[in-house]
């Protein structure tokens, strides 16, 4: 197993061989963001800015306006911490920058809340022309990097630190905004993204002896395609969201907005991080917030067991 940040480093070197306009703007975190191999392979296309994300964003925006496709890599918490620069230099100018935020969610562990990427989705979703991508595994990471270099819109690529198993076949095809069903079930749809996808799949396996078999949806790019997501969710009586992010502003809000527009009554429940996060091992933190497989399974079972029969009642 590998982390999506590792897969990103490999994929970036591969696509850069065919796209000479691909550059890296680094913020003194080449080892952590896995851009070291890019630096070795393409030293003249690697720009070290230092611990100065605000400057790096401005440099990348300028390079993008000259026809380059720069990838700015840093911890997601630090990168989106310079939201004013992202808003003004990238978003407002529609600059073709790929902002790469690593160490998403709780997995940074003992470094604690001062370095946890728990509010980045909320910030980046607020920009109307920025697409947010978060791959669930290596196959999807490679597909997203290939997609990013062939499009010129601003993109935020959210990557995980923790290794995670593959959930897609090698013939997987990424479709921007499309809700990807990775496990088919009935009645209950569980929507998630990134490192939570394999966790939810493991939780579904834990639920198998109970007879519960939820549909698992990988919402790997935001904004979601509303018609496609509506068609999918309305086939279920109960929609759940799990995300490794604050409970406000991220995937929960994206899915909740679509559920509100459904033409039938569907129960909606969601979970994420409800405080600023804590310091501890990743395993301890995911258990604390019930975002590990046993916790997710327990929550799914609790709300579906207590859920009234909604059927096809209309609003």
- Residue 157: count other Cβ atoms within 10 Å of its Cβ: 25
pLDDT digits (tens, 9 = 90+) for 164-204: 999 999 999 999 999 999 999 999 999 999 999 999 999 99
Dist. CA 30–CA 61, nearest whole Å: 20
On whether residue 164 sits in a domain, the answer given is: no
Domain count, the chain: 2
pLDDT mean over 208-222: 96
Q: Give the pLDDT band (50/70/90) at residue 18.
A: very high
pLDDT of residue 310 exceeding 60: no
Range of the domain at 219: 180-305
Please indicate, yes or no, whether residues 32 and 136 belong to a single structural domain of this protein.
Answer: yes
Interior/surface letters 61-81, b for 16+ CB within 10 angstroms, e for the rest: bebbeeebbbbbbbbbbbbbb
Same domain, 78 and 142: yes
Predicted pLDDT of residue 312: 34
Evaluate if residue 308 carries a pLDDT over 70: no
The reported pLDDT for the residue numbered 1 is 87
Do residue 252 and residue 152 come from a single domain? no
pTM score, whole prediction: 0.94
* Same structural domain, 127 and 40: yes
| 232-250 confidence digits (pLDDT tens) | 999 999 999 999 999 999 9
List the alpha helices (DSSP H) in 112-250: 120-125, 138-149, 196-207, 226-233
pLDDT over 90 at 72, yes or no = yes
Residue 41 has pLDDT above 90, yes or no: yes
Per residue in 116-156, pLDDT (tens digit) is 999 999 999 999 999 999 999 999 999 999 999 999 999 99
Q: What's 207's domain CATH number?
A: 3.40.50.920
pLDDT tens for each residue of 253-292: 999 999 999 999 999 999 999 999 999 999 999 999 999 9
93: Cβ–Cβ under 8 A, 6 or more apart, which residues?
A: 61, 65
Same domain membership, residue 220 and residue 144: no
Tell me: do 109 and 233 sit in the same domain.
no
pLDDT recorded at residue 305: 81
Question: Looking at 111, 127, 158, which one is the last position of a domain?
Answer: 158
Q: 190 and 145 in one domain? A: no
Residue 196 sits in the same domain as residue 252: yes
For residues 93 and 130, state if they share a domain.
yes
Confidence of residue 81 (pLDDT cuts 50, 70, 90): very high
User: Residue 170 falls within a domain, yes or no?
Assistant: no
Per-residue pLDDT band at 2 (split at 50, 70, 90): very high
Residue 250 is predicted with a pLDDT of 98
| Res 314: pLDDT | 26
Same domain, yes or no, for 240 and 188? Answer: yes
Q: How far apart are CA 86 and CA 128, in angstroms?
A: 12
Based on the fold, state whether residues 124 and 12 are members of the same structural domain: yes
Specify the CATH number for the domain of residue 31: 3.40.50.970
Q: What is the pLDDT of residues 83-103, one digit of tens each?
A: 999 999 999 999 999 999 999
- Whether 174 is in a domain gets the answer no
Q: What is the pLDDT of residue 188?
A: 96
What is the percent of the chain where pLDDT is above 70?
A: 97
pLDDT for 306 equals: 67
* Res 293: pLDDT: 98
151/192 same-domain check: no
């Amino acid at each position: 197993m590998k982390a999506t940040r590792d897969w990103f480093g490999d994929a970036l070197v591969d696509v850069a061989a065919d796209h000479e306009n691909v550059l890296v703007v680094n913020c003194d975190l080449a080892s952590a963001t896995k851009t070291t191999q890019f630096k070795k392979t393409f030293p003249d296309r690697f720009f070290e800015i230092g611990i100065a994300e605000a400057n790096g964003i401005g440099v990348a925006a300028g390079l993008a306006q000259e026809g380059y496709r720069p990838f700015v890599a840093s911890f997601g918490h630090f990168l989106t911490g310079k939201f004013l620069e992202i808003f003004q230099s990238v978003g407002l100018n529609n600059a073709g920058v790929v902002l790469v935020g690593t160490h998403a969610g709780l997995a940074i562990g003992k470094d604690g809340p001062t370095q946890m990427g728990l509010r980045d989705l909320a910030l980046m979703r607020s920009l109307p022309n920025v697409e947010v991508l978060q791959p669930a595994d290596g196959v999807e990471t490679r597909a997203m990097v290939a997609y990013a270099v062939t499009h010129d819109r601003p993109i935020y690529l959210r990557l995980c630190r923790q290794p995670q198993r593959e959930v897609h076949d090698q013939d997987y095809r990424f479709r921007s905004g499309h809700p990807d069903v990775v496990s088919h079930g009935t009645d209950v749809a569980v929507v998630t993204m990134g490192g939570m996808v394999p966790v939810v799949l493991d939780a579904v396996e834990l639920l198998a002896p109970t007879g519960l078999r939820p549909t698992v949806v990988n919402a790997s790019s935001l904004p979601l395609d509303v018609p496609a997501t509506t068609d999918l969710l309305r086939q279920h009586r109960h929609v759940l969201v799990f995300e490794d992010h604050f409970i406000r502003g991220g995937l929960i809000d994206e899915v909740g907005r679509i559920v509100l527009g459904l033409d039938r009554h569907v129960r909606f429940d969601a979970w994420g991080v409800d405080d600023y996060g804590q310091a501890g091992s990743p395993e301890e933190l995911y258990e604390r917030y019930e975002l590990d497989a046993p916790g997710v399974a327990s929550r799914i079972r609790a709300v579906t067991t207590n859920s009234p029969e909604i059927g096809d009642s209309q609003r």
